Structure 1
Amino acid sequence: MPYKNDEFISQLYRLSVPLTLQFLFTSSFSLLDTVMVADLGELQIAAAGIAGQLEFLLVMILAGALSGPAVFMAQYYGKRDYVSIKKLAALNVFSGFAISFIFYIVLTLSSPYVFWPFTQDDQLLEMTASFVSIVSFGFIASAVTTAFTMSLKSIGVVKAVMYMTVLSLLLNTVLNYALIYGHFGFEPMGVNGAAVATLISKLLLLILTVAYVYAMKREVSVSFLKRFPYDRVLFGRVYRVTKPIIIHESLWGLGTTMYIVAFGMMGAASIAIIQVSKVIGNFVLAGVLGFAQSASVMIGEQIGLRNKEQAQKYAERFTRIGVAAAVLIGLALFVAAPQVVGLFHIGEQLRGQAVNIVRIMSCVLTCSFLNNIWIVGVFRSGGDTHYSMKLVLGSTWLIGIPLAFIGAGIMKWPIEVVYGLFATEEISKTLFGYFRYRSRHWQHDLVSTEQ
């Protein structure tokens, strides 16, 4: 295929490189926390893992609530309708703040009981509650930041987001080093030092993001002094598309939390192993998340312009590139698994089990890549949210979770086998998602004035 003067390639490069880097840097927060906490012991890793899972649940709820308006913004951007974009940006900011504030209150009032499903170890419960009490306020800051950044990405502003994320990550790294082990004159705080470092870096990222949006007078700047720009017709259409996204992201986030509960039935050491393998997997998948976001913007813009044939061609090209990347990265991860796991300095037995899990992960990486590209980049950009909801919830709650609980709670199989059962979720999503991707039934023009 001739790539010279290819608009797809030039637009992909402009969007995907900063988006991919931004997601990699974002996932590095959890990776760095886990690496730097690893020397403290298995309980500390497990505490950070449980806290991280609760934040992940919030992230999934926010992804559901904020992705719907973002889909519309991408299509409105194709029409250059900035009035509607500003209304949707306001909806995102207020929704993000409200959801995270409610989550913060519920989490604060229910601690430490909310951690009981994960473990009955009193020491681990106390450690987790202390960690969450520090970092939880950062959930609100992170939610508002996410609302602004998702709006910015929908209109193709990605480099600024990447630069601000890098600055926040650098601060998090320095503070982790200083506060966990007591450098630069600070007292060593252990795992709580990681929580303080994460909180401060999230607050910095919020300040940088808000300052950029308003100083540069971006299209998504929201006036807090004027009346909320409520548009009943527009928000009603957004709600119809967003509702299944909220359901599927929230229940999928709850489903991944249930997996941690299942692994927790096997002991704190199992949670530590899963936390190590999870942060490795999240870092690897961060690249495809940026790639999928690029697909969402580019395909959504083509659908907004009513170029359905071009949208399908874009979907096919994203799929081919995704498969090639997944195969190469999967092979590299399989070979380098012992060295990657060795970064975390865990015990010999745990290290061997973690290596096995990372290798299982590498074998299904192609499925994980395709699922992210199709669900986030293709189906969602075309407003095909009801099918995405059924695909994700069916594979998670009818296949993956039952098998994981049978393996961990009833059969008492080794953790590698239980993780393999968990991986059947990704395989099943790929099998069913392929037929939807090929059918072209995922394309819906959400912003046409005739609708």
Structure 2
Amino acid sequence: MIKEKENYTKLINNMALPILLNYILLTLFEVLDKAIVGRYSTTGFAAVGIASKIIYTLTGTLGIISVAYNILAAKLKSEHNDEKFNKLFNVVMTISIAIGLLFIVIALVFGKELFINAYRLKGEIAVFSVDYFYISSFTVLLNLATFIFSVYFRNQQNTKVSFYSTFVATVINIFFDISLVYGKFGFKEFGVKGAAYGSVIGLVAGILVYIFVLIKKYKLKFVFSFDGSCIKKLFKLYVPLLFQDFIEATVFVMMLMAIVSRLSVSDIASFNLLESIGSLIILPAFAFAQSSMTLAIQYNKKEISNKILTIATFETVFLITLLCIFVIFNPKLTFGFITKDGHLIEKSTKIFWLVIIIQIINSILQILKCFLQGIGHEKFVLKITSIISITSIIWIFALANLYGLNGIYVGIIINYLICVIIYFFKIRKVNN
């Protein structure tokens, strides 16, 4: 029994830890990108912030197709159907390329109108935003391709490739960011546009790593493919997953930020600081959630799936607790990395205990949610997410009026806790 548990733990760790390192590198990728531009030009930094927010949001939303692909790919792996598994890869990659190319065309045609007429930007910041957006639109296509490659190798239980790819992409991106933004190492100075060029070059390098391993180790050559049956199955999963992400990551966040914006400047700053720290702390949950989903589908046995779910949940909570303890004992190192405002650090440290509760509950929530989506209950997750996300705004608003920032965090805790309880009993019901 102990030996069996060790095997499952090793299996999960072998898949989850490279994914976690991949997430950390991606976060570093984004932070350094902004930092390099920020040191070059304040206006450029502001412009990149606006343009990149649109790019990242749309990339995340469109990239949900990779989650649908992961579910279908894992099922085919569990059936040992390598022919259909490889065929599905070609179909999903073809669709992703088509979506990416369509976005590039839309961005090039309507990008200028978006920033000048919709965002009302003028002068230098408008020029910087449009220039950066035009070039960065290509990263949507490249990121979609990267997501699909990542899922393919995850289902081959070879997540190290994703880490190597991201590492290469990050190093090359940083080199070309510095070279092209500042005109170093014999390159022409492109300013803000240089950061966008650096991102594109870095992502291309990362994709070349995937292609090299794909051809050399798996002997798979990509061919454009449109298969009606595969596309139907894919979009049957993609649509509810897309709406669930839209409600949770866009609608709920927008309504929440509307409540936060009513607070004092000091409270808003604390919320943003704690949000930045929290987004780093929660990374293990995303890594273990994706791993547990993939493995649970591949092994396709209730007893094994439950063991994987239990181990993944325990390890995630353990890692997040360790990260929280580190932050508690090193506030100047962690909070101080983002801001030098002593008053803000002190204020945020005092209410960090609420963030700890939120992230521990959220980590369990992410794993249970992914598990349910993986075993065919994505519509149930969509329904619960929609109901709880929208109704929770009522009590979050009420608690914010009574207790300010603390009230908002208590409201979020209630939101996550209700979802965890519902998902827990749903999984229990499915098992019975």
TM-score range, shorter chain: 0.7 to 0.9
Q: Which runs of 5+ in 1 are unaligned?
A: 445-451
Root-mean-square deviation (CA), in Å? Answer: 4.1
Alignment pair present for 1:428 and 2:415 = yes
Structure 2 residue 426 is the aligned partner of structure 1 residue 439 = yes
The residue number in structure 2 matching 1:146 is 147
Looking at structure 1, the residues matched to 112 and 351 of structure 2 have their Cα atoms a distance apart, in angstroms, of: 30
Distance 1:240 1:4, change over 3 A: closer
| Superposition deviation, residue 236 in structure 1 | 3.5
Distance in 1 (CA, whole Å) between partners of 2:391 and 2:215 is 46
Q: Is the 8 A contact 1:27 1:282 kept in 2?
A: no
Asked if residue 373 in structure 1 is aligned to residue 360 in structure 2, the reply is no
Deviations 1:195-233 (A, max 9, x none): 2221211121222222322333356x5323xxx26252x
SS at structure 1 position matched to 2:8: helix
Amino acid at match of 2:8: F
CA drift of 1:288 comes to 2.4
1:18 CA displacement: 1.6
- Give the match for residue 384 of structure 2: 391
2:94 counterpart of 1:94: yes
Amino acid at match of 1:432: C
Deviation per residue, 1:33-88 (Å, 9 max, x gap)? 23434445765554333333323322332343221221121122122111221232
Greater relative contact order structure (CA < 8 Å, 6+ sep)? 1
1:382 corresponding residue in structure 2: 375
Q: Does 1:203 align with 2:204?
A: yes
Alignment of 1:6-405 (within 5 A): 6-39=6-39, 44-115=44-115, 122=122, 124-186=125-187, 189-217=190-218, 221-224=221-224, 228=225, 230-232=227-229, 235-255=231-251, 258=254, 262=258, 280-303=277-300, 307-344=301-338, 361-376=355-370, 378-400=371-393
- Give the distance between the partners of 1:442 and 1:67, measured in 2 at CA: 24
For 2:320, give the aligned amino acid: A
Quote the offset at 1:308 in angstroms.
1.1
Which moves more between the two structures, 343-352 or 105-114?
343-352
CA distance in 2 between counterparts of 1:185 and 1:419 reads 53
Aligned partner of residue 248 in structure 1, secondary structure: helix
Partner deviation per Cα, 1:379-436 (whole Å, 9 max, x = no partner):
12212101221233334444359968997xxx8x9xx956973784565134223332
8 Å Cα contact 1:180-1:189 kept in structure 2: yes
Which TM-score applies when normalising by structure 1? Answer: 0.79
> Which residue number corresponds to residue 449 of structure 1?
none
Letter of the aligned partner of 2:384 in structure 1? L
Which 10-residue stretch deviates more, 272-281 or 382-391? Answer: 272-281
What one-letter code is carried by the residue in structure 1 that aligns with 2:235? Y
Amino acid aligned to 2:392 = I
Task: Tell me how far 1:166 sits from its aligned partner.
Answer: 0.8
Q: Deviations over 1:307-365 (max 9, x none)?
A: 21321232122222222222221232344343234335677787778878977644521
Helix, strand or coil at the partner of 1:205: helix
Is contact 2:18-2:160 (8 Å) kept? yes
Alpha carbons of 1:118 and 1:231: their partners in 2 closer, same or farther (altered >3 Å)?
closer
The C-alpha deviation readout for 1:10-53, integer Å capped at 9, x for no partner, is: 21232122222122222221122234344457655543333333
Question: Cα deviation per residue 1:134-191 (whole Å; 9 max; x = unaligned)?
Answer: 2221211111121222222123221112111111111122233334445434465554
Evaluate the alpha carbon distance shift between residue 242 and residue 85 of structure 1 in structure 2; reply closer, same or farther with a 3 A threshold: same
| Unaligned stretches of 5+ residues in structure 2 | none
Distance 1:394 1:286, change over 3 A: same
Choose 132-141 or 179-188, whichever is displaced more: 179-188
Match of 1:448 in 2: none
Q: What is the aligned length?
A: 429
Q: Secondary structure at the match of 1:383?
A: coil
